[in-house]
Homo-oligomer: A and B are copies of this chain.
Amino acid sequence: MTEKNKLPHVVILGAGFGGITCVQKLLSTKVRITVIDRQNHHLFQPLLYQVATAGLAPSEIAYPVRNLFGRKKNAQVLMGTALGFDFDKKQILLRDRTVDYDYLVIAVGGRTSYFGNDHWAEHAWGLKTIKDALAIRHRLLLAYERAENEKDEALRKKYLTTVVVGGGPTGVEMAGAVAELAKRVLAPDYSFPGRTEGRIILVEAAPRILPMFHPSLSAKAQKQLESLGVEVRIGEPVKDIREGAVVLEKEVLPAEHIIWGAGVEGTSLVRSIDTPQDRAGRLLLGPDLRLPEHPEVYALGDAVSLQDASGKPVPGVAPAAMQMGKFIARDIRRRIDGKDPVEKGFVYFDKGMMATVGRGRAIAEVGKLRFSGFFAWLAWLFVHLLFLVGAHNKVFVVMDWIYNYISFGRGARLIIRSHAEADPAVEKATSRTPTDL
C-alpha cells in the first residue's frame, strides 16, 4: 500500500488552521498532496469580527491557498465542494468530479450551531465566512444612515441596538468591537438626536462570561466590556429569537442587529459519516484521530469531538486544530516509512488562552499565570499576528491596527450596496468619471 509506482496520495479536505498545518508538515514527505477547499482562500477566522466591524479589509485576513501551495512540486490545490465520501473505494465525491486518495484528512471545520433552533439563523447572524462578516458590516453601517432618516424614536433606537448572543470569546470580542465602532467611530460623525444612545447587549446563559477562564478574569472582562458601554446580561438564557427581537425570560429586547456567537456543530458532510458522533454532530474519535473502520481516514479540528491520550477534552480552538494537523502529518509519515503507527496518540498541549475586548482591553491565562488590561492586549495582538498567514497580511493588519489605534477611525467603513437595493431608475447614477490624469 505504501510504496506504489506513484507516491501515496494524501488528500486534505479543508484549508483551515488544521488543514494547512497538516499540508505544511507533509511537504517534505514522499507523498502527493491535494488540498481541497470550497473557498480559494485560507481564512484567519479569529480576526473575522474585525472585518465585520470595519477595522480590517477582507483581503487582510484571507490568503489564497494557491499562494501557499500552488507552486510546490508535490502539492496541488483544488477549489471544490465535497458532497460525500466513498470510503470503500477511497474516493471523495466533489460536485463535478471524484478524487481518489490513499490517505484522507477531513479538516472541514464546523458550522454555527443554534442548539436545535435552526430557524433562529435567519434573524441571528453567524460569523463564519467573509460573506457573513461583510453582511454584518453592511447592516451595522447602514443602520446609522437609516436612523438619521427616521422620525420615530423607538425605531431609531432599535436601529442602533445590537444584541450579541453568547459570552464566549467570539461573543465578547464582537460585542466590544461593535461598541467601539458605534460609540467612538460612528456616533460622532452623525448629528441626529439619540445617535449616542445605541445599545450593545451581550447575553449569556451561564452565570459568567468566558467560563473557560478563571472567574477573576471573567469578572475583569465584564468590567472592560462595561467600560466600553456594553450591557452584559449573565444568567439569562435566550428563549426565542424573532425578526428584530431577542426574547429573554422576563424581557424582550428589540434589536436591529442580532449576532450569534454561541456554538459550533458538525457540518452536514461530517454528519453524513457513518461513525459515532456527539450531540453536536461531531465525530467521536479516539486519540489516533482515525475513523475506526477506515484507518486511512483522519479528521481534526471542529469536525471532531475528542478526549486526547491523557484523557482531557480538546477545546475547539485554532491551536488544537493545528496540533492535530501536525500529529496526523507525523502519523502518515510514520506509516509510509513502515514504522509503528503512533506512540500513544494525540496529546493536546495547552499554551494558554486569550480574549480581547477592545482597545487596550484583554485577558490572558497561561497555566497559573493570569493577566489583563493593556499588556494582555499587546500579547493578544502579537500572538494573532504571529499566526496570521502571509507577510503581506501581517504587514497590512499591523498598519490598520496602528491606524485604528491612533485615529479612532475605521479604514474599511464601506457600505457596498447590492444591486437589488439600488433603485432601478437611478441604477447607475452617482458613479463617476472614467480614468485619466
Enumerate chain A interface residues (CB-CB to B < 8 A): 14, 16-17, 37-41, 43, 45-49, 57-60, 62, 64, 66-67, 70-71, 76-83, 95-97, 108-112, 126, 128-131, 134, 141, 145, 148-149, 168-170, 173, 188-191, 212, 261, 264, 267-270, 301-302, 315-321, 351-355, 364, 383, 392-393, 395-396, 399-400, 403, 407, 409, 411-419, 422-423, 425-437
User: When chains A and B are docked, how far (Å) is the Cα of A67 from the Cα of B124?
Assistant: 30
By beta carbon, the residue of chain B nearest A421 is B81
Q: Once the chains bind, are B79 and A354 in contact (CB under 8 Å)?
A: no
Shortest Cβ distance from A376 into chain B, in angstroms?
Answer: 11
User: When chains A and B are docked, how far (Å) is the Cα of A12 from the Cα of B403?
Assistant: 30
Q: Once the chains bind, are A428 and B128 in contact (CB under 8 Å)?
A: yes
Known: A411-B59, A429-B109. A189 touches B128 (CB 8 A): no
Name the B residues within 8 Å of A435 (CB-CB): 45-49, 169-170, 173, 317-318, 355
Name the B residues within 8 Å of A188 (CB-CB): 70-71
Q: Once the chains bind, are B317 and A437 in contact (CB under 8 Å)?
A: yes
Q: Once the chains bind, are A317 and B436 in contact (CB under 8 Å)?
A: yes
Partner of A426, one of B59, B81, B364, B423: B81
| Total copies of the chain | 2
Q: Once the chains bind, are A416 and B131 in contact (CB under 8 Å)?
A: yes
Q: Once the chains bind, are B419 and A131 in contact (CB under 8 Å)?
A: yes
Q: What are 16 A-B interface contacts by the 8 Å CB criterion?
A: A71-B188, A81-B422, A108-B430, A109-B430, A111-B428, A128-B431, A302-B433, A317-B433, A318-B432, A319-B437, A320-B433, A321-B432, A392-B403, A392-B409, A396-B396, A396-B411
User: When chains A and B are docked, how far (Å) is the Cα of A267 from the Cα of B41?
Assistant: 38
User: When chains A and B are docked, how far (Å) is the Cα of A189 from the Cα of B77?
Assistant: 9
Partner of A83, one of B76, B108, B425: B425
User: When chains A and B are docked, how far (Å) is the Cα of A59 from the Cα of B302?
Assistant: 32
Name the B residues within 8 Å of A112 (CB-CB): 428, 431
User: When chains A and B are docked, how far (Å) is the Cα of A347 from the Cα of B62?
Assistant: 48
Shortest Cβ distance from A278 into chain B, in angstroms?
Answer: 16
Name the B residues within 8 Å of A126 (CB-CB): 428
Known: A59-B412, A83-B423. A436 touches B396 (CB 8 A): no
User: When chains A and B are docked, how far (Å) is the Cα of A97 from the Cα of B64?
Assistant: 45
Partner of A352, one of B134, B168, B437: B437
User: When chains A and B are docked, how far (Å) is the Cα of A128 from the Cα of B130?
Assistant: 23
Shortest Cβ distance from A139 into chain B, in angstroms?
Answer: 13
Partner of A82, one of B60, B130, B426: B426
